[in-house]
Amino acid sequence: MAQRTAVVTGASSGIGAASARALAADGWNVVIGARRTDRIEALAAEVGGTAIPLDVTDQESVDAFCSRVETCDLLLNNAGGAFGTASIAEADVDQWQAMYDVNVLGTLRVTKALLPKLVASGDGQVITIGSIAAREPYKGGGGYNAAKHAVAALTRVLRLELLGQPVRVSEIDPGMVETEFSLVRFDGDAEKAAKVYEGVTPMTAEDIAEAVRWVASRPRHVNIDQILMLATAQTSAQSVHREL
């Protein structure tokens, strides 16, 4: 059988990078995108894939990226993140817009562009990384909650609309995973980011990548619709047991 191609967005760190490694180890030809091209080029060299610059908030960049993807059997929509933890009263509209753009419209842009190739593959799969924030509102999570709820809606509508077509649609919603996520959320403040994981054993990017690998390797008659994955020490967005 010809080698199948998996496209991974946001593969320059965290869950995306770990998933690209896991998929490559499972025999997938990986095409990886992100804005930090030095990192994706190093990863592509390591796993034998192809690195292409990608900014999911920029339609021209998405078009250029997707035009270089010859065939696509699997799309992992992973690029995303949170900016800030402001309350609704203190909300920064620009941050909300940025979260909506990268998480929701970014997922839409790439999915829409690659859908014809996913259908043409005869057994396509879209796996989207959502979040516990897509299922449960929490104080200070407003903008990220709104964006990830929208990502979940997009993913579930896509599943409905593709019924009868050869494309499976899955959503993996992680809780706390130690990546660069909190560093980005707190605008590079390493001390604040470290506090998020204080006294807790969070999940690792590799834990989520293992779920991605498993979902991607189910037989074609099985669609894993939704997975919620939490660290053992976390039972909901803000219920976390810390050993301090």
Binding site for ligand NAP (CB under 6 A): 9-16, 34-36, 54-57, 78-81, 102, 129, 131, 174, 176-177, 179-181, 184, 205
CB of 61 to ligand NAP, least distance (A): 8
Which pairs from 115-120 meet CB under 8 Å and 24+ separation?
A: 115/167, 117/69, 117/71, 117/72, 118/72, 118/73, 118/75, 118/167, 119/165, 119/166, 119/167, 120/71
Residue closer to ligand NAP by CB (options 115, 205) is: 205
Out of 100, 138, 144, 197, pick the active-site residue: 144
Beta carbons within 10 angstroms of residue 193's beta carbon: 18
Residue closer to ligand NAP by CB (options 11, 44) is: 11
CB of 45 to ligand NAP, least distance (A): 16
Which phi and psi (to 5°) does residue 178 adopt? -85, 105
- By beta carbon distance, the residue nearest ligand NAP is 14
Contact 81, 184 (CB under 8 A): yes
What span, in angstroms and rounded, lies between the C-alpha atoms of 45 and 47?
6
Contact 130, 234 (CB under 8 A): no
Which is it for the CA torsion 142, 143, 144, 147, positive or negative? positive
Determine whether 197 is an active site residue: no
Residue closer to ligand NAP by CB (options 76, 167) is: 76
What span, in angstroms and rounded, lies between the C-alpha atoms of 98 and 15?
20
Residue closer to ligand NAP by CB (options 120, 153) is: 153
Residue closer to ligand NAP by CB (options 5, 128) is: 128
Q: What are the catalytic residues?
A: 144
